[in-house]
Amino acid sequence: MVEPAITPELVQKHNLTPDEFARVKEILGREPSYTELGIFSVMWSEHCSYKNTRPVLKLFPTKSPKILVGAGEENAGIIDIGDGLAIAFKIESHNHPSAVEPFQGAATGVGGIIRDIFTMGARPVCAVNSLRFGELSNPEVRRLFAGVVGGIAHYGNCFGIPTIAGEVYFDKSYEGNPLVNAFCLGVLRHDQIARGAAKGIGNPVFYVGPATGRDGLAGAAFASQDLTEESAEQQRGAVQVGDPFMEKLVLEACLELLATGVVAGIQDMGAAGIICSTAEMSAKGNVGMHIDLEKVPTRQQNMKAWELLLSESQERMLMVVEKGREAEVVAVFEKWDLSASTIGYVTDDGMLNFHMNGVLEASIPAYELVLGGGAPQYTRAYKEPAYFAKINSFDLSTVSDTEDIKATAEALISLPNIASKRWVYTQYDSMVGAANTSTNDPSDAAVVLAKGTGKALAVTVDCNSKYVFANPKIGGMIAVAEAARNIVCSGGEPIGVTNCLNFGNPYDPEVYYQFVHAVTGMGEACKKFNTPVTGGNVSFYNQNPDGPVYPTPTIGMVGVLDDIAQKMTMHFKEAGDVIVLIGNQQNDIASSEYLHKLKSVSHSPAPYFNLDEEYMMQQFLANCIKTKMVKSAHDISEGGLMITLLESGFAGDKGFDVSPVVTIRKDAYWFGEAQGRVVLSLSAEKLAAFTALANENNIPVTTLGAVTDNEVIVNGSNWGSINSWKEKYDTAIEKMIQG
């Protein structure tokens, strides 16, 4: 086959600018071949090179004495949790593939993040996800929603990893471009940490796992461009096909082999497949590789060199092993009914030389392909979004107060952003592996056991994108603060963050403004909470024909409970217990679900937030939980105080009788989403000591009322049983899906 001529039109189709193409020719000292052009196209794509974000990402704090593997060093960050143990965790997006093929797109997103964890030498113990869709009234949205949830459930359940928590939001901005962010966490000993650097000149390079096909071709490049109906149809082949049972075998074989000391370097074949794994391993080790592509196992005939290099077929790994120990590798993989093929060897010249049946198809310096190496870097221009004028003109006095608190609560509790996600989580196996402690005893963050120790881990994902849309910097801060609040409410100490930054087209100055300011706010909050960023993912080009999605910088946060007995749950325990609110009440309904959905106001400021107040409140709460002063803790988020009270009653079938003195707007008091507030319950005999301690620490406290056996009573009016409210809450989404 004669390769196409390298023309300006072909270069443009490969998403390389004229300046970038000139740089390619400078690096090579010649015109690239067709295969080499494809290599630079995917490796210099936004998805692989972070060319529009690296300078901004430096705003994140990434250092801590507890960090064993930091951001950007390997596939996932690793943090010390004491006693010789560590955790590896990361979150990544699979947005475009899920928009095109929701089941396989979401499934392979789960598979990819699991591989990132066990490539580090850790055994995955739990999965979490963060999902965004358009409005459920749209049949196409319901199709995407069902497909994505089905794909996540299929892969996680079959692989055997519990999906223990997550979040789901619905908004018109996500129509046509859903967000699918997958998180995984694994546990390992310090001496089990595996690295991706290729080492040892002459050491063999092994391809392990299933054969390569044409699925997933140029998936990284596909994820680095605007998603349109035309591009989606053209790129169905860029969506990978996953096999969770195969991945389980690959996991066991890799972990067994890592324990033998035979592995000199390991990397999963994720985005950009073989070319990315060979380039990253070589660049990290300051070496090169000679690869014979005809030795790569294939499941389709007559695959071209560029197809073999760029395929993103799933469940594959690349290993460099100690020379002379090849038989051990083959034996372990044969034991697990897997193939392991030698496809090349490590060289000392820093070059990636790819041969096909004796013909040199591509020869490129490894360092020039990778993030931090020769890949281009840009600082984009940005400007304040024009829609800020609408936000700045918001006038609370023009919005009528609620006339009926109960009717408003009934409307809110049935909104899909607030209602129970039971339809989703009942499809996930949350108990496989018996690590989960929270399925029947819920807390604001999911809590899993660190097996073999008395420790536990608290895990959460958080981001309210309406807040980020309203004020990117404050919204970014709130995402971090809410994640920390959920960890603290569950009895944990926040220790680290991974993030998935989902935005529109970075070449749009208003989108880039959102990105820069959100990262700035997140960085400041991470410093305040001492939660360094260990890694993550940037996902740009999340657009539909009407414009970009809401800016959605999803936070994945992990906390540690040194003793599982520290765990705090969210539900009321005993009738007669006192219900209190800590934090400042504000005359504020900005960016609330109430204002947005029930009052149809789409542009308003971010809700009240003060970083110092939030931090002090969380420190106070952590101390109260450790000293067993409180019986339950549940933070106030979407839907405000009333939704928090109702949710606090559901798990234990307990009601509440509250009649606080309200001196601000009724809707602000009951349904506003001002930050830094938590609802607690405690024994009546501890109220005086609790209030005194709060006053000493300058923490505002409001006594709201008391826990009841079952009835919900507000301002003396009986609203019925907590069970009737739970029925509305649990079935709202199911009814929408069923039509």
- What pLDDT sits at residue 738? 86
Inter-residue contact 136 to 733 (CB < 8 Å): yes
AA identity, residue 309: L
Residue 470 falls inside a structural domain? no
Contacts of residue 149, defined as CB under 8 A and 6 or more positions apart, other chains included, come to 106, 131, 423, 424, 427
The two tokens of residue 159 are 């692989």
Backbone phi and psi for residue 282, each to the nearest 5 degrees, phi listed first: -70, -45
Residue 524 falls inside a structural domain? no
Compute the distance between CA of residue 7 and CA of residue 637 in angstroms, rounded to an integer: 54
Compute the distance between CA of residue 699 and CA of residue 684 in angstroms, rounded to an integer: 19
315-363 pLDDT, tens digit per residue, is 999 999 999 999 999 999 999 999 999 999 999 999 999 999 999 999 9
Of the candidates 62, 117, 129, 81, the one whose C-alpha atom is nearest the C-alpha of residue 531 is 62
- What pLDDT sits at residue 450? 85
Inter-residue contact 328 to 317 (CB < 8 Å): no
Inter-residue contact 50 to 43 (CB < 8 Å): no
- What pLDDT sits at residue 430? 81
The two tokens of residue 272 are 């950009």
Backbone phi and psi for residue 301, each to the nearest 5 degrees, phi listed first: -80, 155
pLDDT band of residue 440 (cuts 50, 70, 90) is: low
Give the 3-state DSSP-derived string for 445-467, with helices as H, strands as E and coil as C.
Answer: CEEEECCCCCCEEEEEEECCHHH
- What pLDDT sits at residue 235? 52
Tokens 């300006």 belong to residue: 8
Domain count, the chain: 2
Compute the distance between CA of residue 132 and CA of residue 172 in angstroms, rounded to an integer: 10
CA-angle at 96, arms to 298 and 9, nearest 5°: 75
For the segment 568-592, the average pLDDT, to the nearest whole number, is 97
AA identity, residue 593: E
Contacts of residue 268, defined as CB under 8 A and 6 or more positions apart, other chains included, come to 75, 112, 115, 116, 119, 277, 316, 317, 318
Torsion sign (Cα): 614, 620, 624, 626:
positive
Backbone phi and psi for residue 81, each to the nearest 5 degrees, phi listed first: -115, 10
Give the count of beta carbons closer than 10 Å to the beta carbon of residue 360. 12
Q: Which residues are catalytic?
A: 47, 94
Residue 501 falls inside a structural domain? no
Please state the length of the chain.
739
Inter-residue contact 41 to 15 (CB < 8 Å): yes
pLDDT band of residue 285 (cuts 50, 70, 90) is: very high
User: Which residues form the domain of 624?
Assistant: 570-739
Inter-residue contact 412 to 418 (CB < 8 Å): yes
Inter-residue contact 559 to 458 (CB < 8 Å): yes
- The residue out of 352, 376, 400 marking a domain boundary is 376
For the segment 648-660, the average pLDDT, to the nearest whole number, is 97
User: Can you name the residues that pair with 185 across neighbouring β-strands?
Assistant: 89, 126
- The residue out of 353, 376, 399 marking a domain boundary is 376
Lowest mean pLDDT among 52-56, 420-424, 451-455, 652-656: 451-455
Residue 148 falls inside a structural domain? no
For the segment 39-57, the average pLDDT, to the nearest whole number, is 92
- What pLDDT sits at residue 429? 87
Burial pattern 406-429, b for ≥16 Cβ within 10 A else e, equals eebbebbbbbbbbbbbebbbebbb
Residue 390 falls inside a structural domain? no
- What pLDDT sits at residue 133? 98
Lowest mean pLDDT among 226-230, 422-426, 563-567: 226-230
Give the count of beta carbons closer than 10 Å to the beta carbon of residue 738. 9
Residue 273 falls inside a structural domain? yes
Tokens 């008395």 belong to residue: 454
173-221 pLDDT, tens digit per residue, is 999 999 999 999 999 999 999 999 999 999 999 999 999 998 767 554 4
Backbone phi and psi for residue 29, each to the nearest 5 degrees, phi listed first: 75, 20
For residue 664, give the CATH number of its domain: 3.90.650.10
Tokens 């460099």 belong to residue: 320
pTM score of the predicted model: 0.94
50-64 pLDDT, tens digit per residue, is 999 999 999 999 999
AA identity, residue 611: L
Residue 291 falls inside a structural domain? yes
Looking at residue 263, the DSSP 8-state letter turns out to be: E
Residue 225 predicted with pLDDT over 60: no
Backbone phi and psi for residue 118, each to the nearest 5 degrees, phi listed first: -75, -20
Query: What order do you get walking across the sheet with 179-189 strand by strand?
Result: 67-69, 77-82, 85-93, 179-189, 123-133, 163-170
Residue 169 predicted with pLDDT over 90: yes
479-527 pLDDT, tens digit per residue, is 999 999 999 999 999 999 999 999 999 999 999 999 999 999 999 999 9
Inter-residue contact 548 to 512 (CB < 8 Å): no
394-406 pLDDT, tens digit per residue, is 999 999 999 999 9
Inter-residue contact 120 to 74 (CB < 8 Å): yes
Residue 88 predicted with pLDDT over 50: yes
Residue 31 falls inside a structural domain? yes
Inter-residue contact 347 to 290 (CB < 8 Å): yes
- Give the end-to-end CA distance of the chain in Å, rounded to a whole number: 53
Compute the distance between CA of residue 475 and CA of residue 45 in angstroms, rounded to an integer: 28
- What pLDDT sits at residue 453? 81
The two tokens of residue 615 are 């931090």
- The residue out of 319, 353, 376 marking a domain boundary is 376
- What pLDDT sits at residue 438? 46
682-738 pLDDT, tens digit per residue, is 999 999 999 999 999 999 999 999 999 999 999 999 999 999 999 999 999 999 998
